[in-house]
Structure 1
Amino acid sequence: MINGRDHRIDFFRGLALVFIFWDHIPGNPLANLTVRNFGFSDAAEIFVFLAGYAAVLAYGKVARRDGWLVACVRILRRAWVLYVVHIFLLVLLMGIVFVANSHVETRDMIEEMGLYYFLGNPQQALVDELLLRFKPNLMDPLPLYILLLLGLPLVLPLLLRRAEYVVGLSVALYLLAPTFQWNLAAQEGGVWFFNPLAWQLLFILGGAVAINAQREQPPELRPLRRQPLFMLAAGYLLVCALIALSWRWPQVHDAFMPRVLSEWLYPISKTNLSPARLLHFLALAYCTARLLPNGPWVQSWLAQQSCRMGRYSLEIFCFGVLLAPLADMANALGDEHWAMQIFSALVGVGLMMLLALWLDWNKRLTRPVPVPAA
C-alpha cells in the first residue's frame, strides 16, 4: 500500500461515480463504455460494495480505539447527515427538472424522472419523501446507503470479531428476501428499486473484505494462469461479456443462447440483486484486484482525479445527480447531436473533478496548523 492506504478503493469509487453519471444521461454515447455493457452488473454494485468497505474500515477503527458506543454515535450522526442531504438533494433535483422541462419540447422530463407523483399528490409525496419512500429516478442509491449505514451498528461488533458469521447471516437474508418477496414499501404501493434486504449482502461483503485486507497475507507467487479461482472467475466474466454484447443483436442472441440457460438466467433482477449479477460483480472485483495491485499506477494524473472524487464520494454523487438532467436538457436543446452528447458528458465529469479539487483544497485550508513547541 502507498502511504498505508489502498488508493484503489478511492480510484474505483471515483470511476463508479463517473459511470453512474454517464449512465443517467439518456442517449449518452459514452455510456456505452461503462461496465454495464460488458456483463450483468453495473456501477451500482461497485458503489455499494465500496461503501461497505469504506464504512467498516473507518468505523471499525473508531470502535477498536474508542469503543462501540462512540462508533455507533458517529455512524448515526453520519446517517443523519445523509438523510438531510437526501431531502435537500431531492428538492434541488425537482427544481432543476421542472425548469429543464419548460425548455425541452421534444420530451416530458417530468414523466421520465417520475415526478408526476409529486405534482398529483404533493402532501403525500412530502410524507413519503421524509419516510424515504418517494425516490424519483437517480435518487435510489442514497436512501439505500442511509438504511445500510443505520444497520451497521447492529453487526459491527460481531463483524470485527467473526466476520464469517455475519456474512453467513447476510447470505441467508439475501436468499430469503426474494423467496418470500420481502422488500420495503415505496410510493403508490410500490417497493424499493434497490431491495435493501438483498443489497445488504454487497455492503457486508465489502466490510468483510476491508477487515480481511488489514491482516498480513502471504503474496501469491503462482502466475495467474495457474490459479484455478482466477481462471474460473475470468471465464465467467468472458461468458457474461459475450451474452451482454449479444443483447445488441437480438437475432444473434436468440440463435445462440441455449433455451435452458435463458430460462435459468432471465430475468436478471436488479431489485433483488440476481445471483448472476452478484457473481459477475464478485468475479469482476476479484480479477481486478489480482490484475491491478496497488502500486505506482494510481499516481498518474487521471488516476489521481478519480481518487480525489472517490474521497468525496457523497458530494460528487449528489453533484452528478444534479448535473445529469442539466446535461440531458443541453442534449435536447442541441437536437441530440452526438457531438453535444459527448461534450455535455465530458463537461459534467470535468465539473465533478473541479468540485473534488475545490473540496480537497478547502479541506487543507481548514486543517489546523500545528503549533511548534517552545
Structure 2
Amino acid sequence: MLNGRDHRIDFFRGLALIFIFWDHIPHNPLAELTVRNFGFSDAAEIFVFLAGYAAVLAYGKIAQRDGFLVASVKILRRAWVLYVVHIFLLAVLMGIVFFANSHVETRDLVQEMGLQYFLSNPQQALTDELLLRFKPNLMDPLPLYIVLLLGLPLALPMLLRNARYVVGVSLVLYLLAPVWNLAAQEGGVWFFNPMAWQFLFILGGAAAIHGQRAKAPETRPLSRQPLFVGAAAYLLITGLLALSWKWPQVHDAIMPLWLGEHLYPISKTNLSPVRLLHFLALAYVAARLIPHSGWLNNWFARQTRRMGRYSLEVFCLGVILAPLADMLNALGGDGLVMQLFSALMGVGIMAVLAGWLDWNKRLGKPVKVPAAP
C-alpha cells in the first residue's frame, strides 16, 4: 500500500521551481547558483522526475483504494485542467510580453520570447496553440506534463504490479527518441521530446513505488558502497567539466578531442544519456546524504515545501513573472542591485501565492467537532 505525502518531494519540487524561475530571467546573477551550472542536468530533470514520483504516489493510492477506473478518470481530469491552464497562461504571457516590449527600447522581447510567429501568422498560431504545437519560450514544460499525464493511465496498473516491465518498455521508447518527436510550429519539433522525457517520468514513478517497500538498512559506510562512490565521482567530474565551460581555454586543455566529439552536443531535447546519468547520480547521492526529517522544519524549507505542494500554480506565476523581471531589469539599466531585487522579489511573490493557497485550502476544511461524552 502506498503511504502519504513525502515532504522531501515537496521541498525539491519547490526548489526546482525557484531554479526554473531564475534560469528564465536573462542575465540574472542568481541563475549562476542553479544546478545547471554544476553538471549536465538542470532543474527540468528534477521537476519531471518528481512529477512522476508525486503522480504515481497520489494516483496509485487512489487506484488501490477506489480502483484503476476512478484513478484514470482523475488523471484525465487533471490533464484537462492543465490543458485549460496552458491555453489561458499562453494568452496572459503574450499580453505581458507585448506590454513589456512596448516599454523596453533596447531589445525585441517579442522576438526573444518566440512570439513573432503569432504576429506573422495569428490564425495558424491559434490553431497550433490548441494542438499544443505553439510553445513560446518558458511554455515547454506544461505541454510535456500534459502528454505524460495522458499516458499514465496506461502505465499505472503495471507499475503497481511489476514496475520493472514498465521501466523496460519505457527504456525502449527512450532509445527511439532521437528518431521520433512531436511536431511543433513552423515545421519544428518539441523542445522537450516526450518520447525521451517519459523515461524520467516513469523512473520517478518506479522510485515512488520502490521507496514504499521495506528495505534492510545499509550498514556499510558510504565510502565502501561502490554505487555511491561511482555516482559521487561522476558528479565531481561532470561538475568540473561544466564549470570549465565558462573558460573555453581551460575546457580545451582538459577535454580530449576524441572525447569531445563523442560527448557533444549534449541534447536536452532528447535527454542525452549523460544528462540522464548525471541526474540519476545526483538524485541517488542526495537521497543517501540528506536526512529524511529535521531540516525540513526550518523556515526556508517550510516555504519551499509549500511552493512545491502547489507546483502548478507557482510554476504558472513564475512564467508570468519572468518577463516582468526582465523588463524591470532592462528599465533599471541591468544593474546588479536591480537584477538581485527582481529575482528575489519574484521568489517572494511565488512564496506568498503558495502561502495564500495553503491558507485558503485550510480555511475550506470542515471543523472537526469533538464527540459528546
For the aligned residue pairs, the C-alpha RMSD in angstroms reads 1.0
- Cα distance in 1 for partners of 2:274, 2:46 equals 15
Helix, strand or coil at the partner of 2:214: coil
Residue 226 of structure 1 is matched in structure 2 by 224
User: Which among 289, 298, 311 is matched to residue 300 of structure 1?
Assistant: 298
- Alignment check: 8 A CA contact 1:128 1:134 kept: yes
Q: Is 1:16 paired with 2:16?
A: yes
Partner of 1:71: 71
Alignment of 1:65-144 (within 5 A): 65-144=65-144
Hey, what's the Cα distance between the residues in 2 that align with 1:371 and 1:63?
A: 30
Deviation of residue 298 (structure 1)?
0.6
Deviation at 1:308, TM superposition (A): 0.4
Displacement of 1:353: 0.6
Matched, 1:347 2:345: yes
Partner Cα separation in structure 1 for residue 238 and residue 259 of structure 2: 12
Q: Distance in 2 between matches of 1:16 and 1:4?
A: 22
- Provide the TM-score with structure 1 as the length reference: 0.98
Q: Distance in 2 between matches of 1:29 and 1:272?
A: 28
Q: Distance in 1 between matches of 2:367 and 2:75?
A: 27
Q: 1:198 is matched with which residue: 196, 199, 204?
A: 196
> Counterparts of 1:1-374 in structure 2 under 5 Å?
5-178=5-178, 181-373=179-371
Equivalent AA in structure 2 for residue 142 of structure 1 = L
The alpha carbon displacement at 1:256 in A equals 1.5
Aligned length, in residue pairs? 370
Q: How far apart, CA to CA, are the structure 1 residues paired with 2:299 and 2:368? A: 30
- Residue type of the alignment partner of 1:30: L
Q: Which amino acid aligns with 1:212?
A: H
Gaps of 5+ in 2: none
Tell me how far 1:83 sits from its aligned partner.
0.3
Deviation readout 1:114-163 (Å, 9 max, x if unpaired):
00100111111010000000000000000000000000001110010010
Contact kept in structure 2, 1:39 and 1:280, CA below 8 Å: yes
Normalised by the length of structure 2, the TM-score is 0.98
Q: Deviations over 1:223-267 (max 9, x none)?
A: 111111000000000010011000001111112201121111100
The answer to whether the Cα contact below 8 Å between 1:40 and 1:276 also exists between their aligned partners in 2 is yes
Name the amino acid aligned to 2:306: R
Question: How far has the Cα of 1:372 moved from its partner?
Answer: 4.1
Alpha-carbon distance between aligned partners in 2 of 1:147 and 1:244, rounded to the nearest angstrom: 31
* Residue ranges of structure 1 left out of the alignment (5+ in a row): none
Higher mean displacement: 39-48 or 217-226 = 217-226
Amino acid at match of 1:362: N
**Tell me, what secondary structure is at the counterpart of 1:221?**
coil
Counterpart-to-counterpart distance in 1, 2:87 and 2:217: 46
SS of 2:41 mapped into structure 1: coil
Classify the secondary structure of the residue corresponding to 1:277: helix
Give how far 1:371 is off: 4.2
The offset of 1:4, in angstroms, is 5.6
Moved more, 230-239 or 213-222: 213-222
Identity of aligned residues (%): 78
Distance (whole Å) between structure 1 residues aligned to residue 318 and residue 158 of structure 2: 35
